[in-house]
């Protein structure tokens, strides 16, 4: 196989057509994103919970705005290109996160976990929605008119973490396999300026990447493979759990407070606590708050005042624990469908050489 091609998105060009998926909570921090860019791809930060995460790391107070801006500027210092992932579902912090990212002149904003509103005047920042169907892309194109995305990520059902499919049955339905979703999304993109289509979800090898490039994709987004690198912020226990996992250890649950199906490792301590019925209902950090009847952001499915709270885990604490910032709390290990294929922890440079040249480290 040949070395992978470059990828142009708006005004910037990547050496290789790979971007690292934004992984929360801060699994993908500046150390990871800078290593990805040095190796020829685009690193993508996670914005979820940054205000509280940076407070714990740096021992000082932040607003959403100051935390997001500092994280981006740290990642971009020295001329590095960097993206940031922003979840629409985090309604309370969404607008402030977008404003901060634009003010920091981040290279690209990847917007997922819902249908993003039109974002006017982005300057040189590329706006890249994450969708799971051509239908969702058409809706965004109507909503953003006369603007259009600078690229789109089509995420299939084999991805890790939150999945853009509301019904668990859809995840295993061949109709929704990534290779079956791609042609229609390419057709929609071709009718609206032919912006790049980046595919995500279950892509693992150099050969997989070439398969989708041959179908018309412009690039790929990969998360789990970068999770299992030396530069990611995942705890050593998280990384080892990935290395030790088997195919049957990976499952999709419907218990995330965000309301989307969630792919995890079965042995995740937070999930095991939920199964055992020993989960303590609470909502301390409040990353995933919805609006109450008065318009305030107070509603969480995992909080004690929700009658069904015992069906949900506290995603805020569980994901902070996965990066070692919630002592005493059980972590949740989010992974893609191919996590079991990872046999060892390697550097980003080694991984990118494998992905771009087909050379195993």
When pLDDT is cut at 50, 70 and 90, the band that residue 253 belongs to is confident
Tokens of 45: 């930060």
- As a whole number, mean pLDDT of residues 271-294 equals 64
In the predicted structure, residue 180 carries a pLDDT above the cut 80: yes
Tell me how many domains the chain contains.
Answer: 2
What's the pLDDT score for residue 162?
67
**29 and 132 share one domain:** yes
Per-residue pLDDT band at 90 (split at 50, 70, 90): confident
Contact 227, 23 (CB under 8 A): yes
pLDDT tens profile 298-341: 556 666 655 555 566 667 788 888 999 988 888 989 999 999 99
Average pLDDT of the residues in 75-90: 94
184 and 299, same structural domain?
Answer: no
Extract the tokens encoding 258: 């965000």
pLDDT (0 to 100) of residue 306 = 57
User: For 3-51, what is each residue's pLDDT tens digit?
Assistant: 899 999 999 999 999 999 999 889 999 999 999 999 999 999 999 889 9
Instruction: Tell me: do 156 and 305 sit in the same domain.
Output: no
CATH code (residue 353):
3.20.20.70
| Model pLDDT, residue 299 | 59
Task: Provide mean pLDDT across the span 70-80.
Answer: 97
In whole angstroms, what is the distance from residue 135 CA to residue 188 CA?
9
Q: What is the mean pLDDT of residues 88-109?
A: 93
Q: What is the pLDDT of residue 22?
A: 93
Query: Same domain for 262 and 177?
Result: no
Q: Are residues 49 and 78 in the same domain?
A: yes
Provide mean pLDDT across the span 278-288.
58
pLDDT (0 to 100) of residue 314? 65
CB 40 within 8 A of CB 14: yes
Q: Given this model, what pLDDT does residue 317 score?
A: 80
28 within a domain of the structure (yes/no): yes
**Same domain for 250 and 227:** no
pLDDT at 303: 62
Residue 289: inside a domain: yes
Which among 149, 240, 157 is positioned nearest to 203, based on CA atoms?
Answer: 157
Contact, 234 vs 252, CB < 8 A? Answer: no
Looking at the structure, do residues 154 and 292 belong to the same domain, yes or no? no
Give pLDDT tens digits for 235-250. 999 999 999 999 999 9
DSSP codes, 207-249 = HHHHHHHHHT--EEEE-HHHHTBTTS-S-HHHHHHHHH--GGG
- Report the pLDDT value the prediction gives residue 42, as an integer from 0 to 100: 98
Residue 281, pLDDT above cutoff 60: no
Task: Give the confidence band of 287 by pLDDT, cuts at 50, 70, 90.
Answer: low
Residues 301 and 349 in one domain: no
Q: Is 2 helix (H, G, I), strand (E, B) or coil?
A: coil
- Look at residue 158 and tell me if it is in a domain: yes
Helix 30-38 vs helix 348-357: crossing angle, to nearest 10: 40
Query: Could you report how far apart the first and last alpha carbons of the chain are, in Å?
Result: 16
- And the tokens for 138? 């058409």
Q: Give the helix/strand (H/E) hosting 13.
A: strand 12-14
Query: Residue 211 above 90 pLDDT?
Result: yes
What is the model's pLDDT at position 318?
81
Residue 206 to residue 88: CA distance in whole angstroms: 31
Residue 2 maps to a domain: no
Residue 1 is assigned to a structural domain of this protein: no
Q: What gap in Å lies between CA 172 and CA 83, rounded to an integer?
A: 30
130 and 42 fall within a common domain? yes
- Pair (40, 115) in one structural domain: yes
**Kind plus residue range of the DSSP H or E element containing 265:** strand 262-265
Instruction: Using the predicted structure, report yes or no on whether residue 255 has a pLDDT greater than 90.
Output: no
Please indicate, yes or no, whether residues 21 and 62 belong to a single structural domain of this protein: yes
Whether residue 32 is found in the same domain as residue 140: yes
In a domain, 118, yes or no: yes
* Average of per-residue pLDDT across 92-113: 94
239 preceded by a cis bond (ω within 30 of 0)? no
Q: Does residue 333 form part of some domain?
A: no
Residues 287 and 48 sit within 8 Å (Cβ to Cβ): yes
Nearest-angstrom CA–CA distance, 336 and 125: 28
Instruction: Name the token pair of 53.
Output: 């995460």
Torsion angle of C-alpha atoms 302, 304, 310, 316, degrees rounded to 10:
30
Q: In terms of residue numbers, what domain contains 198?
A: 7-233+343-357
In a domain, 250, yes or no: yes
- pLDDT recorded at residue 153: 97
């Amino acid at each position: 196989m040949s070395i992978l091609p470059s990828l142009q998105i708006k005004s910037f060009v990547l050496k290789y057509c790979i971007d690292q998926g934004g992984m929360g909570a801060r699994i993908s921090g500046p150390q990871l994103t800078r290593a990805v860019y040095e190796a020829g791809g685009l690193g993508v930060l996670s914005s979820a919970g940054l205000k509280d995460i940076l407070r714990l790391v740096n021992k000082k107070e932040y607003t959403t705005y100051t935390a997001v801006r500092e994280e981006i500027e740290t990642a971009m210092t020295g001329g590095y290109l960097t993206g940031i992932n922003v979840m629409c579902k985090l309604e309370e912090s969404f607008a402030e996160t977008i404003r901060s990212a634009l003010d920091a002149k981040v290279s690209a904003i990847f917007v997922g976990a819902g249908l993003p509103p039109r974002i006017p005047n982005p300057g040189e920042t590329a706006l890249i929605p994450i969708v799971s169907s051509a239908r969702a892309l058409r809706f965004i194109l109507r909503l953003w008119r006369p603007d259009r995305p600078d690229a789109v990520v089509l995420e299939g059902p084999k991805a890790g973490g939150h999945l853009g499919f509301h019904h668990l049955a859809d995840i295993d339905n061949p109709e929704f396999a990534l290779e079956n979703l791609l042609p229609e999304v390419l057709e929609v993109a071709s009718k609206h300026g032919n912006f790049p289509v980046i595919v995500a979800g279950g892509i693992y090898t150099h050969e997989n990447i070439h398969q989708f490039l041959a179908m018309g994709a412009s690039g790929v987004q990969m998360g789990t493979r970068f999770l299992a690198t030396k530069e990611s912020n995942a705890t050593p226990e998280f990384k080892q759990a990935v290395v030790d996992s088997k195919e049957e250890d990976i499952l999709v649950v419907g218990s995330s407070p965000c309301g989307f199906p969630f792919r995890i490792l079965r042995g995740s301590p937070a999930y095991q606590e939920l199964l055992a019925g020993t989960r303590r209902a609470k909502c301390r950090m409040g990353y995933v708050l919805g609006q109450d009847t008065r318009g305030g952001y107070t509603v969480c499915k995992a909080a004690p005042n929700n009658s069904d709270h015992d069906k949900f885990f506290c995603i805020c604490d569980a994901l902070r624990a996965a990066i070692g910032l919630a002592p005493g709390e059980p972590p949740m290990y989010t992974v893609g469908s191919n996590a079991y294929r990872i046999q060892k922890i390697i550097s980003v440079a080694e991984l990118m050489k494998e992905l771009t040249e087909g050379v195993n480290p």
